[in-house]
Amino acid sequence: MQKHNILLLHGAIGSKSQLSEFANLLSNEFKVFTLDFDGHGANSSEEPFSIHLFKSNVLNFIKSNKLDSVSIFGYSMGGYVALQLAAEYPELVESIFTYGTKFDWNEEASVKESSKLNPEIIEERFPDFANGLKSLHGELNWKNVLHKTAAMMIQMGKAEENHIDFSNIECPCLLSWGTNDKMVTKTETLATVSKINKSIFFEFENQPHPIEQLDCSIISESISSYFLN
């Protein structure tokens, strides 16, 4: 029996290596694919970061791997990218499961989140976090990733073209949220569920936002249950 295709998308300032535990847990039931967005991990890029750039990365990946249809798990920003893809190319996406995706991108939220991405402050106050970013993106690129991500967040707070037309999404979607998430609110997640025709909300008790702190086994069980049933 042929396994169901599943694509895992990483979050902002992350890389596909952070999804390795998810990939291992899901590999028995799915044919698992991962990718680094442009400018992240091993992928270099001179382009400014944007949701549309990352959507194009996923579109090209799906076409180059000849995936007729695929289900997508998107962590944080990866979920936003998945939904953007589904809104523009509904025929390619079978279903979507997001975790910890921020939807309330107004000017105030954008300034707040982008202010957390100052590499000099991170290196001085949070050296372990800085070292983690260096290991993900390389000694020469990690600061560039932070600067470009901060600029993207500012644009998302201003530009209507960065906002998804949720009414165009045809596939089933599950938008999930962890009760210990300090970045994303339950309110914004539920508000987005109400905008997507075939969507449901799921709450994970005691799960935070940072991917390094997630209980991947619990979330992977829910991903399997949703995509296979």
Domain limits, the chain: 4-104+165-228
Whole-angstrom CA distances from 129 to 17, 55, 122 are: 16, 27, 7
Is it the case that residue 185 has pLDDT exceeding 80?
A: yes
CA 55 to chain centre: 11
The per-residue pLDDT for 105 is 87
| pLDDT, position 160 | 55
Q: What is the pLDDT of residue 229?
A: 82
Q: What's residue 44's pLDDT?
A: 81
Beta bridge partners of 99: 75, 176
Helices (H) and strands (E) in the chain, counts: 9, 6
Mean pLDDT of 128-150: 93
Q: Is 86 exposed, middle or buried (0-12, 13-18, 19+ CB in 10 A)?
A: buried
Q: How far is CA 92 from CA 46, 50, 146, 167, 186, in A?
A: 27, 21, 31, 16, 28
Average pLDDT (33-52) is 92
pLDDT (tens digit per residue) in 19-29:
999 999 999 99
pLDDT at 5: 94
Does 1 have pLDDT greater than 80?
no
| Mean pLDDT of the residues in the chain | 93
Tens of pLDDT, residue by residue over 91-135, are 999 999 999 999 998 888 888 888 899 999 999 999 999 999 999
Distance from C-alpha of 97 to C-alpha of 229, rounded to nearest angstrom: 13
Question: What SS3 state is found at 87?
Answer: helix
pLDDT at residue 162, rounded to an integer: 57
pLDDT tens-digit readout, 47-68: 999 999 999 999 999 999 999 8
**Bigger pLDDT: 164 vs 176:** 176
Fold of 4-104+165-228: Rossmann fold (3.40.50)
Cβ-contact 13, 117 below 8 angstroms: yes
Q: Per-residue pLDDT averaged across 166-179, rounded?
A: 97
Token pair, residue 141, equals 């690129």
Cβ(45)–Cβ(70) below 8 Å: no
Phi, psi of 170 (to 5 degrees): -105, -25
Is 29 in a helix, a strand, or coil? coil
Q: How many residues does the chain have?
A: 229
Positive/negative CA dihedral, 129, 217, 186, 153: positive
Distance CA 86, CA 71 (A): 10
Q: Torsions phi, psi of 190, nearest 5?
A: -65, -35
